[in-house]
Amino acid sequence: MADHGLTSSFIKLDEEWGAHNYHPLPVVISEAEGAWVTDVDGNRYLDFLSGYSALNFGHRHPALVEAARDQLDRLTLTSRAFHNDQFGAFCRELAELTQTEMVLTMNTGAEAVESAIKVSRKWAYEVKGVAFDSAEIIVAAGNFHGRTTTIVSFSDDPAAHDNYGPFTPGFVTVPYGDLQAISDAITPNTAAILMEPIQGEAGVIVPPAGFFAGVRQLCDDNNVLLVADEIQSGLARTGKLFALDHDDVRADLYTLGKALGGGIIPVSAVVGRADVLGVLKPGQHGSTFGGYPVACAVGRAVVELLATGEFQTRSQELGRYLHGRLDELVGKGVASVRGRGLWAGVDIDPRARTGREVSMALRDRGVLCKETHERTLRFAPPLVITKEEIDQAVDALAESLNA
Ligand SMILES: *Cc1c(COP(=O)(O)O)cnc(C)c1O
């Protein structure tokens, strides 16, 4: 059994001084490399959460650490009051990778979503001709787009939403995956449809086949923007650059974050059509750190890794293997498995153990993951994971379900 001698004293410190807005697993990580982390007592674990996909390239990928280090030695921050020699190149390289026309840099995912909401509204008033202050954005039930006051205004998760009002109006919620409901919700005031191509926090929910092609058609027919939140699903997680690529659908705007910062620093962006992002004029939106040189240097190294296609291929091939192995557990403590690529939502049989109990049993067997909701585990290993490590984790899961 693993030693946890130092662990409890670190946890005590966290609980005494840190705000209690998380309920972490009792493991205190002090070092990491690739798919592996080490705790303060020297125990090693496979990371099957990857910082909610922020660590798609694994911990401390050498090319990313080098890019950050080199930039730290040259220039860290200018603010956008001046140009810097990394910003334009990052925007161009990210636009080329994503086959989009323009890039708006921010820091966190929530800021990217906020920015996409602001841009969509401004576009609705200035280009589409929606009456002042009446733009509507259609969102999905079960969504997760971040934690700001406006974003939690349209969250239907009571924990994320309750007691943070008064809330921002202008959002219309429809069931996820229900094309008819979207069609019924569209009005002349609809500016955008904002959705995750696969709902991550909700438990890796994959919509019905053809759903997003239908959404695209509705957007085209009604002059409505399709805004795809690819903050968790994008950048190779599902086996393609964007999860939406599986549906052969293009969004008007994509929000990106998490893996865009290579697991090193927060980097986010809205990428998309120049005539939409082009509604922003100097002074109308911004961020002190958005597009700062360190972010751009790391982001450029991330783009370079993604441009090889290696991580997309790994996710596709190893994802098929992971899902094959997980499917073997259905009926043996697992109720069902969803997902795409190296991304899986595993529903624990309600007669078996809770997600938390299984997460703890996995920790004891050297695998870290986290339940989402009561009975769903989310598996999202770094895309550098090997087949043998997948076997190790799935074997540990099989044991944990029955422990
Ligand atoms: C994580 C996430 C966000 C918010 O990103 P932060 O960096 O935590 O603000 C937004 N949308 C989706 C789909 C996410 O998974």
- CA distance linking residue 167 with residue 169, whole number of Å: 6
Helix (H, G, I), strand (E, B) or coil at 178: coil
Nearest ligand 1 atom to alpha carbon 201: 15
For residue 371, what is the enclosing H or E element?
strand 370-372
- 316 and 286 belong to one structural domain: no
385-400: average pLDDT: 98
pLDDT in tens, 169-196: 999 999 999 999 999 999 999 999 999 9
311-332: average pLDDT: 98
CA 123 – ligand 1 centroid, Å: 23
**Is-contact 368 37, C-beta < 8 A?**
yes
**Is-contact 102 273, C-beta < 8 A?**
yes
**Known catalytic residue at 258:** yes
Q: Which of 145, 204, 260 to mutate to test the pocket of ligand 1 (most atoms within 8 A of CB)?
A: 145
**What pLDDT does 352 receive?**
81
Cis peptide before 166 (omega within 30 of 0): yes
CA 246 to chain centre: 17
Task: Supply the CATH number for residue 25's domain.
Answer: 3.90.1150.10
Q: Is residue 169 part of a domain?
A: yes
**How much is the CA Rg of the chain, to the nearest whole Å?**
21
On the question of pLDDT at 92 being above 80, the answer is yes
- CA distance linking residue 113 with residue 110, whole number of Å: 5
Domain that holds residue 148: 62-307
- 284 and 339 belong to one structural domain: no
- 76 and 202 belong to one structural domain: yes
129-148: average pLDDT: 98
pTM of the model as a whole: 0.98
300 C-beta closer than 6 A to ligand 1: no
- 26 and 68 belong to one structural domain: no
Nearest CA, atom 7, ligand 1: 109
pLDDT in tens, 43-59: 999 999 999 999 999 99
- 100 and 236 belong to one structural domain: yes
92-96: average pLDDT: 98
Q: Is residue 1 part of a domain?
A: no
Q: How many residues does the chain have?
A: 403
Helix (H, G, I), strand (E, B) or coil at 79: coil
Task: Supply the CATH number for residue 276's domain.
Answer: 3.40.640.10
Per cent of the chain over pLDDT 70 is 99
- 82 and 10 belong to one structural domain: no
232 C-beta closer than 6 A to ligand 1: yes
231 C-beta closer than 6 A to ligand 1: yes
- Domain C-terminal end among 258, 292, 307: 307
- 131 and 13 belong to one structural domain: no
**Is-contact 155 143, C-beta < 8 A?**
yes
**What pLDDT does 272 receive?**
98
On the question of pLDDT at 2 being above 90, the answer is no
Domain count, the chain: 2
- 248 and 383 belong to one structural domain: no
First-last CA distance in the chain: 14
Q: Is residue 373 part of a domain?
A: yes
- 278 and 238 belong to one structural domain: yes
- 303 and 319 belong to one structural domain: no
- 22 and 116 belong to one structural domain: no
Q: Which one from 57, 87, 144, 212 is the annotated catalytic residue?
A: 144
- CA distance linking residue 248 with residue 161, whole number of Å: 33
Query: Could you tell me which residues come within 8 angstroms of residue 7 by beta carbon, excluding any fewer than 6 positions away?
Result: 26, 27, 28, 39, 40, 41
pLDDT-derived band at 1 (thresholds 50, 70, 90) equals very low
Single-letter residue type at 277: L
pLDDT in tens, 209-220: 999 999 999 999
- 234 and 342 belong to one structural domain: no
Q: Which of 49, 144, 149 to mutate to test the pocket of ligand 1 (most atoms within 8 A of CB)?
A: 144
171 C-beta closer than 6 A to ligand 1: no
CA 14 to chain centre: 25
